[in-house]
Structure 1
Amino acid sequence: MIRLATPADLDAVVALHTEARATYYRGHLPDADFLGPEEIARSRAGWAAAVGRGAVLCAVRDGELAGIAAYGERDGLTHLTQLHVLPARWRGGVGTELHAACVDGWRSAGVTEVRLEVFEKNERAQAFYAAHGWTPDPENPRDGDHLVLRLTLGPETE
């Protein structure tokens, strides 16, 4: 089931986000950059704001939060800002279902193009996005240690 996150989900959202990020940052960045108390507090504040705007989708499986996604507008462009799946739920369709819900939301809003940034060392996520039609942004392919990807929505994309 996909639904909007509520304030009651905040602890689970932050925990899932922290666990998922650790899987791809560990060994590439200092642990404090993704597990330190200051970073977790920053993350919590960001998620709380996004939940408050009604901008967070939750995938629920067997009564637990299995995945989260958030998107919004920045600089006049729609961005997929977060899409994370609980590592124990990888390869179970959660990410694909969240992605489809995002695409449905974008189409309903008349959005025709979306961008995202993915950590350059996160090859698993890059493969996921490529399989869902994302391609390197030709105008801005990198932002520091992140690749910038673009999805153009049309009848042939999911």
Structure 2
Amino acid sequence: MTTSQTFLRTAHSDDVDRITDLHTLARTAYYQGGGVSDQSGDRTVLCAEREGELVGILAMGPPCEADVEVTTVGQLYQIHVRPGMWGQGIGSYLHAAFVQFLRDTSLAAGVLEAWERNSRAQAFYARHGWKPDGHHRPGPGNANYVRMRLSLDPEVQPGRGGQLASEPGARGRC
């Protein structure tokens, strides 16, 4: 399938159960059943749908950490793609929406946290230009969260990172 069959829309309150189900499936796939909870915060959530099925979610907003400049940086709290749908471009589509969010809000950079044992997510973000910034904090399973940063090049359009073979799992704590 191509991403042209996938569309994004703003999440609504009646999506909560489907978002929770997808979130749980995706996190279980990469944490392998480890218990992790999310905190809510001031964020924008987008849903990716394909043929009426919720196949991905994106949450983004202001940075959580005090050392990140809120006037120039936005945070990608999480991208989750339904397991079984990985490798179909949905994560790239959601990532492009995050980059567009940064551009639309005149932010020069993005930050996210990826669990250090989630090499699939880290590779996905690295292919999109993200780099570890040296900050980390404790995470589940005696493994850290690694903070990554994306600096926008004003000449590059969102979504121009090539086709990817895997889907991400960023983890925000806001």
Q: What is the CA distance between 1:78 and its match in structure 2?
A: 1.6
2:3 counterpart of 1:17: no
SS of structure 2 residue aligned to 1:106: helix
* Equivalent residue pairs, number: 139
What's the CA shift string for 1:15-36, capped at 9, x where partnerless?
1011100011116x3xxx14xx
Q: Give the alignment of 1:92-131 within 5 angstroms.
A: 92-131=88-127
SS of structure 2 residue aligned to 1:71: strand
SS of structure 2 residue aligned to 1:81: strand
The equivalent of 2:156 in structure 1 is 156
SS of structure 1 residue aligned to 2:47: strand
Aligned pair partner of 1:61 in 50, 69, 75: 50
| Structure 1 ranges of 4+ moved more than 3 A | none
In the alignment, structure 2 segments of 5+ residues that lack a partner are 1-6, 139-143, 159-174
Q: What is the CA distance between 1:156 and its match in structure 2?
A: 3.3
Q: What is the CA distance between 1:131 and its match in structure 2?
A: 0.8
Structure showing the higher helix proportion among its residues: 1
Counterpart Cα distance in 2 of 1:3 and 1:157: 20
Root-mean-square deviation (CA, aligned residues, Å) is: 1.8
TM-score, L = length of structure 2: 0.74
Identity of aligned residues (%): 42
